[in-house]
Amino acid sequence: QKEVEQNSGPLSVPEGAIASLNCTYSDRGSQSFFWYRQYSGKSPELIMFIYSNGDKEDGRFTAQLNKASQYVSLLIRDSQPSDSATYLCAVNPTGNQFYFGTGTSLTVIP
């Protein structure tokens, strides 16, 4: 079982819709969770982090964490073509360990 699992997609949504990206993790003791965005040919950039159960909102982005279900998600409201990218979920179970998912490719269709 992989440490972090994501659907590879591709996920396609029309412009203006809500994009929902999901991630599950295996280490129940994990405390820190991150979402990165990676455009084709570029390096990942951090867009959200969440530590506590519940929702965390930042602009059009909302991260949701459910530790009991070992599930973290990212919602992108009012999706724009510029949101088209691969989204990486990362989990930090302890210390300097980081586990990345393989990423979900999102395409926002104008």
Partner 1 sequence: GAVVSQHPSWVICKSGTSVKIECRSLDFQATTMFWYRQFPKQSLMLMATSNEGSKATYEQGVEKDKFLINHASLTLSTLTVTSAHPEDSSFYICSASRGLAGDEQYFGPGTRLTVT
Note the residues at the interface with partner 1 (CB under 8 A): 31-32, 34, 36, 41-46, 49, 51, 88, 90, 92, 94-96, 98, 100-103
Segments of 1-84 assigned E as strands:
4-6, 11-14, 19-25, 32-38, 45-50, 54-58, 61-66, 71-76
- Tell me how far, at minimum, the Cβ of 103 lies from partner 1, in Å: 6
Closer residue to partner 1 (CB): 3 or 71 = 3
Closer residue to partner 1 (CB): 19 or 47 = 47
State whether the Cα torsion 29-63-69-26 is positive or negative: negative
- Tell me how far, at minimum, the Cβ of 58 lies from partner 1, in Å: 14
* Residues 6 or more apart whose Cβ sits within 8 Å of residue 93: 3, 27, 29, 30, 31, 99
- Tell me how far, at minimum, the Cβ of 60 lies from partner 1, in Å: 20
Closer residue to partner 1 (CB): 14 or 59 = 59
